[in-house]
Each structure stands twice: as C-alpha cells, then as structure tokens.
Structure 1
Amino acid sequence: MTAAPIDHPEYLPFKLDPVARRVLWVRLSAPQRREAAFLDDRALPPDAEGGWRPWSSLTTRDGAGVPPAHAIFHIGHCGSTLLSRLLDTWPEVQGLREPLPLRTLAEAWPALDQPQSRLSTMQATQALDALWARWSQPLPPRRVSIVKATSGCNGLIQPLLERHRQMRAVLMAMPLRPYLATLLKSPASVVDAATAAAERLLYLRANAIAQDVSLHALTLPHQCAMGWLAERLRFDALAGGEHGSRLLRLDFEDMLADPARELQRVVAHFQLDPAQLDRALASPEWNRYSKATVHEYGRSDREHDLALAMSKHATQIAEGEAWVAQQLRASGRTV
C-alpha cells in the first residue's frame, strides 16, 4: 500500500488488533461490498489489496459533514441479512454487513473500565467514532450507508445513538419459540448465541434479573433463551428511552407475514424513496439464503425447517421457555 488508506474511499478498516495497536485496511469495490454477507475473512478477495497500518490511521477527519450511517441491530438469525439485502435494492443505499471491527469493539466495551482492558474508554470511543465515520461514506452513486451489525454488538447501540444524533436504527427480533427452534437446528447458531452469552448475562444482572445465575451452570438451550431475554429487555429499554424516536422495532415473523406493510415501515424510518418498494418486494432475495445467495431458500423452505426443528427440539425449546418464564416471574418483569 503506497498511499495512506484514508485517502482511498474504497479502503475500509477491516480488522482491529488492539494488542499490536494496528488496523488492517482492505480495498473493497461496490460489487464486493454488495456481495458480502459478512465483512470478515469470508469477504476477502483472492487478490486483496491492503495492509496493516498503525492504530493512528483511524481518523474521522474525512468524515466531517457526512450524515452518519444508519444501522440494523438484531438478536441473531432473525432475518437481518435478508432485510439488509432488500435495502440494497434502493439505488441510494450501500449496505455493509457485519464489519468485524465493530464486533471487536463490542467485545472490548464491557471491560473498558477494568485494568485488564487493552483500550481506554477514550481510545475505544475515538475508534468507534472513526469507524462509523468511515462506514458512513458510501461509494458513489450511493448516498446512504446502512450498517448491519453482528448480533453481539447490541451493547454499542446506546453509545452510537448518543454520539450520532441523526442516526436511525432498526431493532430486529422474533418470538422466543421460533427463535429457539431456529438456533437449535444449527449447531453453529447455538455456538454464536453461547459466544455472546457472557455479555448478555451481565446485562441481565445489571438490571436486577438472573441474580443467582452463573454462566457455567446454564445448558446451551438456557443460554440461547437467556440471550433472547436479554436482547428483548435491552430493546424495550432503548425504545422507551431518550432516543426511542429514532428506533424502529421489527419482528421477522411479521415481515414474512406482511412484507409490504413491514418494509414500508422500514422505508419510512430510514427516509428512503417509497417508489422503490415494489422492486424490493419482487426481489429474488426472498427466495435465497441471504448468507449464501447461491442457495435457494424461500419462505416455504423456512416454514418446513422450522416445523421440523420445533418437533425435533421440543424438549430443549420447552426448557428455554421455562427458564425465561422463571426469570420473569422472579423479577416481576414482562416482555
């Protein structure tokens, strides 16, 4: 890399290394960004251009005056990738799906005030500002960036809303039973949920729920159910808080049942051109597996798989539902 990556709009901060205090910058064209379901190693082209630069290469200087990117936050495996790809059908929208640096910061965030943290609160906040400024700059002719975060990044919603007053976000979820069935039919999805379980348990305990719960004592179905409860309560708190008017709650089951109504809500929320709605409703993305679009996977396929999973994993689903009900009774909370 012969010039500073900040001078090339196609370069994105691709990885953060807080140990060596460096940033990996990678050049990604508009088609490459559009194709990527995840902005991690799976998105790296064979002939990737880029390189590691010092931590100081993160800067907000070229983001001044650019409206902040909007965002999609979610509980995981609830249609957020599909929504992001549908929004890509708007000519003005650039979708960025699950950029890895955001996940790195989200993992570091809960321990920022601890002596073992590799980043100070100021360093982490400055990095978040610089990353969001970069992701807020779509490649022409796109004019609006919408970042779909990894499900473990929900602890960053509040700081992002506080720092970017024009930013809007969708909070996407689904009911507990289909959520558990969706996770339990895929071992990798269970691992994803378990990986985020520690932060979610800390969130519950900070809100006077699950006070006697230790992570090591929870089964995997319980950890999945705990994650759903934590994110449901987090979304409730955010929606009822200071920035609630800039948040839109979206249920995946509702989106599948009435795509036109729910997408219209999203379009209005992100202030996109409503004339493009029919194009999104006719998109072939509805009949593809959003994380790997070479595979066909429509609504009927999902219904079939979900019914099988609910039957096969009925015992574990019931365990998860009972755990959530027990915690809500003990805390006097409702969802």
Structure 2
Amino acid sequence: MTQANLSGGPQSRPPSVEAVARDATWLAHRYDPGHDAVHFLPVSRAIHAQATFATDEHLPAGLDPLVVRRQDAIAAASPRAPLHFLFHSAFCCSTLLARAFDRPGWGMGLKEPVILNDLIGWRRRGGQGSDMAEVLDDVLTLLARPFGPGEMVCVKASTAVNALAPAMLTLREESCAVLLYAPLRTYLGSIARKGLDGRLWVRTLLTGMLDDKLVQLGFGPRDYLGQTDLQVAAIGWLANQQLFARLVDQFGPERVRTLDSATLMRDPAGAVAAFAALTARPLSAADVAEIAAGPAFRTHSKSGTPFDARDRTTEIAHGDQLHADEIDKVAHWAEKVAASAGIALDGPSPLVA
C-alpha cells in the first residue's frame, strides 16, 4: 500500500494537512509511536455504514494512508464535535447501537477505530516516546471531528480498549459513556456458539486484561491454566462488570450509565431516548421511533441480512440448548465468584429503568 507523507515526503499534489485534519471522512486510523505520526484513511460516511468495524479487515482494500505528524494534524484540526463513548464487554449488540447513532444532522457512531487499539498496545509495551496522556488527548480530538454541522460523535471502542476508559472520561469532562454488556448466561452462550474462535478470543482478551491489571478476583496466574474456556470467558466478563461499576462510581450517573443487551433489544426506543437525554442531544419522539424501527435494529450487524429481536432470541435459545450443561455449570461458578468479590451481575445506574 502506497503511503503519502503530508509533512514533507515526496508525493504529487497531496491533499493539504489542513484539508485532511479538518475532514472527518479522513479517518484517524493508526498511530505510529516511533514517528509520533497519525495515519489517515479516506473513509466516507457510506463506507462507515457498510463496514462492520473501522478496521483493515472490514474497510475496502487499497485505501492509501496519508501520514501526518501528530502535532501538525492537531494544529490544523477543526473545532471538535461533542464526543461520547460506548464501552462494552463484547457480544452485546454494541455494533448495532453504534450503527443506530449514524443519523445525519444528529450524530455519528465510529465502530472500533483501530487507533485506540494502537494506544492500548503501546501502553502495554511500556509507552516509550511522547507523553501518553497527550497523545490520547490528541487522538480523541481527531476522532471528534464532526461528520456534519451540529453532529456529535460516539466512539464505540473495542473491548480491548476498556482499560483506557477512565483516562478518556477524565480527559473529556463533557463526555458521557454508556457501558453495554450482555447478561452473563447470554454472553457465555455467545462464546460457546463461536466454537474454537470464540474460546481462543476470550483467552486473548484475558491476557490483555491481566496486562492492564483489570482482573482483581483473587486468582493467581496458575489458576487460569486450570480453568475451562467458558470459565476464562466468565472471568473477563466479571472483570468488566467490576470496571463498569468503578466507572459509574468515579464519574457519576450523570455522565456514565450501564445498559444490558436484553433491555436494549426489548426497548430500543427507550434506550435511544435515554441516550439522547444523557448526552443532551435532543431527539423528537418521531426521531426516536424512526431509529428504533430502522435498519440498525432490523438487520444483522455483521452480515447485513434481516435479523430482529425475535431472531436474536431464537439464536440465543438454540445456542443455550446445545451448550446448556456447560453454561449452567460455569454460570453457577461465576455467580459464586461474583458474590465473593462483591460484583453485581446487573450494572449500576441503568440507562433504562
């Protein structure tokens, strides 16, 4: 893939730094800590809508990155839009909700921008180079460029980024966050249905959470070797519930609320209206009804095929039936771990009462 360096490298008639830094359709895609540079990709609103995530796997092939020194990009960036966050513990309809926030004139949902994963990876490696808080602050500024006049931006970060949530909310005192999770048994069923890929994924997730020091459940390093895949999944889920409770306690329910996927699918209009109220982004009753009846809640977030709340219920029930014994045993074990660690299975300060 060809790269064009907007800060001095050879390139015939490249877009100006100002043109790139002020246009939200140039996605701040990657951060290179070695060169303190940001890689931008041309990603239109239509491409965002089509892509499951804003990752190389899901974006069109052949997009040429434009590389800009971070400080140059920030110096040229346009005034930022209101910025809010959707943090989640995976497999809980977070992509669906981020898609629902794509409403011209009101807001835009960014689905798992990789640049935040770059920052968490950089931190795990020791973060040599520029000041990490300054870089995170600048990255948030570049993600908060408005797609249209008067619009907010809601960043749905990947689950791997959850350890940065406290810093992100601290750096953006005006920002709110929804903490989305699936009920424990639903989550375990999702992992079981995904077979080997899901079971490997939860172990990779737990490794990162251990590096981030997010797991405080009384287990030693050798304990995880003796746990089954679904027990490892439950540990990650419980650690995220523990983190979510701390976030609500630290930043207060006026900024941070929790939401479970069952409630979201049962009452999408209520969830959308509550989010609009939390973020002070008014929506009329007609707007809320249109979003709740729109494609985000009527098609599969990954495949784009027709898929609604009834289909989701059927899928969950089928998966639970195939793996019922394992799910029941691990859920019972996890409930005892939660009780011992003082972790509530239901998130505090729910977005929808």
Normalised to the residue count of structure 1, the TM-score between the two structures is: 0.87
Asked whether the 8 Å contact 2:81–2:151 carries over to 1, the reply is no
The answer to whether the 8 A contact 1:328-1:334 is kept is yes
Distance apart, 1:91 and its partner CA: 3.0
Residues of 2 paired with 1:51 and 1:61: CA distance? 16
Answer whether contact 1:72 1:147 (CA < 8 A) is retained. yes
Correspondence list, 1:222-301, <5 A: 222-275=231-284, 276-293=287-304, 295-301=305-311
Structure number with the higher helix fraction is: 1
Determine if contact 1:11/1:26 at 8 Å carries over to the other structure: yes
Mapped pair 1:136 → 2:147? no
Single out whichever of 78-87 and 36-45 deviates more from structure 2: 36-45
Work out whether 1:14 is the aligned partner of 2:29: yes
Equivalent residue for 1:84?
98
Q: Give CA deviations for 1:99-156 in whole Å, capped at 9, x if unaligned.
A: 00111212333x3xxxx52435x53222211111011112224621111111111111
Match of 1:185 in 2: 193
Q: Corresponding residue for 1:41?
A: 56
The aligned counterpart of 1:305 is 315
Match of 2:7 in 1: none
TM-superposed deviation, 1:222 = 1.2
* Matched-pair contact (CA < 8 Å) for 1:23–1:57: no
Q: How does 1:109-188 map to 2 (within 5 A)?
A: 109=123, 111=124, 117-120=126-129, 123-141=131-149, 143-187=151-195, 188=197
In 2, the alpha carbon distance for the partners of 1:195 and 1:143 equals 36
Decide whether aligned partners of structure 1 residues 201 and 163 sit closer, same or farther in structure 2, where only a CA change above 3 A counts: same
Provide, for residues 226-259 of structure 1, a one-character-per-residue CA deviation record: whole Å limited to 9, x for no partner.
1110011111111122344211211110111222
Deviation at 1:3, TM superposition (A): 3.9
Matched with 1:30 is: 45
8 A contact 1:78–1:179 mirrored in 2: yes
Could you tell me which amino acid in structure 1 is paired with residue 184 of structure 2?
A: L
Two-structure CA RMSD over aligned residues (Å) = 2.6
Q: Measure, in 2, the Cα distance between the counterparts of 1:271 and 1:303.
A: 32
Q: Where does residue 327 of structure 1 map in the other structure?
A: 337
Q: Residue 314 of structure 1: which of 308, 324, 344 is its match?
A: 324
Q: Cα distance 1:329–1:283, how it changes in 2: closer, same or farther (>3 A)?
A: closer
| Contact 1:58 1:131 (C-alpha < 8 Å) held by counterparts | no
How far apart are residue 305 of structure 1 and its match? Answer: 1.3
2:121 corresponds in structure 1 to 107
CA distance in 1, matches of 2:257, 2:297: 21
2:269, 2:291 within 8 Å by CA — same for their partners in 1?
no
1:72 maps onto 2:86 in alignment: yes
Superposition deviation, residue 38 in structure 1: 0.7
Q: Shift of residue 205 of structure 1? A: 6.9
**Which deviates further from its counterpart, 43-52 or 240-249?**
43-52
The normalised TM-score by structure 2 is 0.83
3-state DSSP class of the match of 1:125?
A: helix
Instruction: Give, in angstroms, the shift of residue 202 of structure 1.
Output: 5.6
Q: What's the secondary structure of 2:108's corresponding residue?
A: strand
Letter in 2 for 1:197: L
Residues in 1 aligned to 2:240 and 2:57: alpha-carbon distance in whole angstroms:
27
Contact 1:260 1:281 in 2 (8 A): yes
- SS of corresponding position for 2:271: helix
Q: CA deviation at 1:302?
A: 1.3
- For each residue in 1:37-75, what CA deviation from the matched residue of structure 2 results, as whole angstroms up to 9, or x when unmatched? 211113433452433445x45743345753441111110
Flag structure 2 segments of 5+ consecutive residues without an equivalent: 5-13, 346-353
